[in-house]
Amino acid sequence: MAVGVFDSGLGGLTVLDAVAAHMPDLPLIYFGDNAHAPYGVRDANDIYELTTAAVANMFERGCNLVILACNTASASALRRMQESWVPRDKRVLGVMVPLIEALTERQWGDNSPPREVAVKHTALFATPATVASRAFQRELAFRAIGVDVEAQACGGVVDAIEDGDMILADALVRSHVDALKRKMPNPQAAILGCTHYPLMEQVFQEALGAEVTVFSQAKLVAASLEDYLNRHPHMRGSGDESLFLTTGDPARVSQRATQFLRRPITFVAA
């Protein structure tokens, strides 16, 4: 009864970890498309092709539900997948919805007119593709008024994390926060709109300052998944074993994953 968790690389492990903490008995099939990461510098069609290939693999392994634990795929490919690709008996959900729900303090299905919300000045840190898609701002505008979103495309951060170069990742995060602050000196909240970024959450928080609320996407997604599975228990799928799949080098990816999650993780070839 496995649920699939997909990311271009290691970032989705932050979501997997939060899901495992919420639902320790839920088998999870993780798919990291490490051979093709980062997605954030690819065009929408490329992201769609890669994401559908990975999700098809997870469907074949018995998943009925796959979480795109990747903001870039959620922003660039999810709608197209849901409209014309996902089979009737399967579901693919993204990671942006729970975040927008938390920020706007309302449920996704609430179709009432947009309302004022508490957070007025929000910094969005995401990959170049997510920022270019403007998906986050579009969804927010349907639900909230008067929110000023300043987006910062954080080039290079995902590559540095995937390469395990945390010194470079640290320096890049600080310089992206500086760049954001030149455009928006006093953000009230910050959204880490890429699942790799929670691995650098402390650096973001330090560079932003303690007064800025950093939204934790992983926990929000885990809570929302638990709620979804309670309402749709048949979406748990038929697989009953957890599995870590990668298109990259399994030994190298296992080593990085073990370092990030601080517990032994063994990836196998997808």
Tell me if 98 contacts ligand DGL by CB under 6 A.
Answer: no
Which positions ≥6 away from 156 have C-beta within 8 Å?
A: 168, 172
Integer CA distances (angstroms), 201 to 64, 172, 175, 196, in order:
31, 13, 14, 9
Nearer to ligand DGL, 7 or 101 (CB): 7
Which range binds ligand DGL by CB under 6 A, 24-32, 54-62, 131-139, 188-196?
A: 188-196
- Does 128 sit behind a cis peptide bond, omega within 30 degrees of 0 on the bond before it? no
Which residues 199-228 are close enough to bind ligand DGL by CB under 6 A? none
The DSSP code sequence of 11-68 is: TTHHHHHHHHHH-TTS-EEEEE-GGG---TTS-HHHHHHHHHHHHHHHHHTT-SEEEE
CB atoms closer than 10 angstroms to residue 219: 19
Which range binds ligand DGL by CB under 6 A, 59-67, 68-76, 98-106, 203-211?
A: 68-76
Nearer to ligand DGL, 70 or 208 (CB): 70
Which range binds ligand DGL by CB under 6 A, 65-73, 76-84, 139-147, 221-229?
A: 65-73
Among the listed residues 70, 151, 218, 225, the single catalytic one is 70
Q: Report in angstroms how near the CB of residue 197 gets to ligand DGL at its nearest.
A: 8
Q: Which residues contact ligand DGL (rule: CB under 6 A)?
A: 7-9, 11, 37-40, 70-72, 127, 130, 158, 194-196
